[in-house]
Amino acid sequence: MAKHPHKIFEMHDFRDKAVRAVRSKAARYITEAINSESWNFKFLVASRSASVTHVGFKQAQSTTDDQMSDMQSDFAKLTAKSSIGSKVVLDFTGLNSFSVDSIETLVSFNKNLRHKGSSMVLCCLNSSVRNSFFPAR
């Protein structure tokens, strides 16, 4: 299954499908990088090109409660750098677990993006990480 239904987040198995999901039809035909930028935070790494911001986690494996303040700070900085109408793809490649507190941080980040008219999709979640988004299953 390439797309996973969730009440808050749109999830895709593959990064390419996630990028296609957030890009507008007009932007899909843009192949050159316009105003490409990249940011290196303590917990996250992000790059923006051709109207999509790709965000990944620096430390693969898992997230812990000790990392929460760093993650919250990084997402706040990323929100500040995001322009109105941004399209964000959050890539979970390499993560083996994701805590409930981390999900709450993502919910807050998503809410802040939506206030700016922006959207976010998640991609490349392994089954263990994806299951943490569905605790009742």
Angle at 42 (CA atoms; ends 9, 53), nearest 5 degrees: 45
Nearest Cα to Cα of residue 23 among 78, 79, 87 = 87
Set out the domains of the chain in order of their start, with CATH numbers. Answer: 3-27+34-132 (3.30.750.24)
In this prediction, residue 50 carries a pLDDT of 72
Q: CA torsion, points 26, 28, 30, 31, in degrees to nearest 10?
A: 180
In this prediction, residue 32 carries a pLDDT of 45
In this prediction, residue 92 carries a pLDDT of 93
Which pair of structure tokens corresponds to residue 85? 């109408």
Which pair of structure tokens corresponds to residue 104? 């709450």
Rounded to whole angstroms, the maximal C-alpha distance in the chain is 43
In this prediction, residue 46 carries a pLDDT of 94
In this prediction, residue 26 carries a pLDDT of 42
Per-residue b/e over 101-132, b at no fewer than 16 CB within 10 Å? ebbebbeebbebbeeeebbbbbbbbeeebbeb
In this prediction, residue 33 carries a pLDDT of 45
pLDDT in tens, the chain (137 residues): 455 567 788 888 888 888 888 876 445 444 444 568 899 998 899 998 877 999 998 876 566 666 788 889 999 999 998 888 889 999 999 888 888 888 899 999 999 999 999 999 999 999 888 888 887 65
In this prediction, residue 64 carries a pLDDT of 64
